[in-house]
Chain A
Amino acid sequence: MSSPATLQVCRECGGGAPVDVHFCPQCSKILTLGRHGDYFAFLGLPRKLGIDAEDLEQRFRGLSRQFHPDYFYNATPAERRASLERSSYLNDAYRTLKQPMTRIEYLLQVEGLAPTSPQEASRQVPPALLEEVFALNEELDEIRDLRAGGAPPEIWKSRLERARGPIETKRVAHEAKLQELSARWDALVDSGASVGDRRAANEALEALRDRFLERNYITNLLAGIERELSQ
């Protein structure tokens, strides 16, 4: 991985500025969104998965006000464009970091751990999970047939509930595992090891990615069961 850029240049005065500031320290003009850090740095946050929702909201609102195009109504075209660019990037950053799942996905991406191809992603999912998901999907299919064939609700409903049990347990365990792995990553960030010890960092990120890839199987199945139950 290439080392991240640390400096940007102010187009107004030519002065240098750290990559994660939004206004030039020399001339105080809004900086063009050229070379910039990631969503975490943009919001002034460490690259951690534990994010306090209220703190994030406040940072978002604070920056939203500072970048608001209304304040740049009489400014130069370059500043007006910079205000729009920063506002738009801020919205993307906030939307991505607000949800824990898109936050993990984004972290994996900026850390260079996103799967490179569908084949690769597919291979990282444990075969046992695929077996289980397949079997539960078949069970769900049978229940649908039973229901379509006019079976009384007490028959198919209890089978649906029985099918939901193991997958709901799995979802809870999966969520707990993701939280545990997120905490492990955050501890590495706190100790400086996420940058200083890439082997430990990659191990933590790979474990996180492998678990993360399982979530769609679980959520899709549960959604299918809920859909049947609510109809």
Chain B
Amino acid sequence: MAYSEKVIDHYENPRNVGSLPKDDVNVGTGLVGAPECGDVMKLQVKVNPATGVIDDAKFKTFGCGSAIASSSLATEWLKGKSVDEALAIKNTDIVNELSLPPVKIHCSVLAEDAIKAAIADYKKKQGTTMSAAEKAQPTVQTI
């Protein structure tokens, strides 16, 4: 099976490899895996608290060329998008952009899953910081 030129480009020059501080409340981390091939993919987004726009995105993927290219492309697309726009990215968009063959479609599914997991983690963090602050108040009063 031959990889498309775009896959090879992303594989040889992956964009945005690395990681963001996991404990930052404005960072969402998604870690997903594909059991049928044993690939693991970590994708992170950093949301600007003032604008709600994704400022930065990083990934690290241990897997085949298509999995690396799918996550690399995903981080490129995520930058500058709002959280809701990010959730609208579909695996089929990645398939089309990279001309992935049918046997590699699950790599694009993995990337979509990673985006959703990262956003879900971000939203969860935003939720918990709120409730932690709310919970803190009555404790202060009792002291």
Report the minimal beta-carbon distance from B49 to chain A, rounded to whole angstroms.
Answer: 26
Interface presence of A85 (CB below 8 A) = no
A46 to B109 alpha-carbon distance, docked (Å): 37
A141 to B61 alpha-carbon distance, docked (Å): 11
B42 x A118 contact (CB < 8 A): no
CB neighbours (8 Å) of B36 from chain A are 118, 121, 216
Report the minimal beta-carbon distance from A225 to chain B, rounded to whole angstroms.
Answer: 13
Report the minimal beta-carbon distance from A156 to chain B, rounded to whole angstroms.
Answer: 19
Report the minimal beta-carbon distance from A227 to chain B, rounded to whole angstroms.
Answer: 14
A115 to B141 alpha-carbon distance, docked (Å): 52
Interface residues of A in 96-152 (CB under 8 A from B): 115, 117-119, 121-122, 124-125, 127, 130-131, 133-134, 137-138, 141
B35 x A217 contact (CB < 8 A): yes
Q: A130-B40, A133-B40, A134-B42 are in contact. Are A118 and B31 (CB under 8 A)?
A: no
A213 x B42 contact (CB < 8 A): no
Report the minimal beta-carbon distance from A63 to chain B, rounded to whole angstroms.
Answer: 31
Interface presence of A219 (CB below 8 A) = yes
Interface presence of B88 (CB below 8 A) = no
Mostly helix, strand, loop or mixed at chain A's interface? helix
Interface presence of B32 (CB below 8 A) = yes
Interface residues of A, Cβ cutoff 8 Å to B? 115, 117-119, 121-122, 124-125, 127, 130-131, 133-134, 137-138, 141, 213-214, 216-217, 219-221
Interface residues of B, Cβ cutoff 8 Å to A? 31-38, 40, 42, 60, 62, 106, 109-110, 113
16 contacts between A and B (CB under 8 A): A117-B109, A118-B34, A118-B109, A121-B34, A125-B35, A130-B33, A133-B33, A134-B40, A134-B42, A137-B40, A138-B60, A213-B35, A214-B35, A216-B35, A217-B35, A220-B38
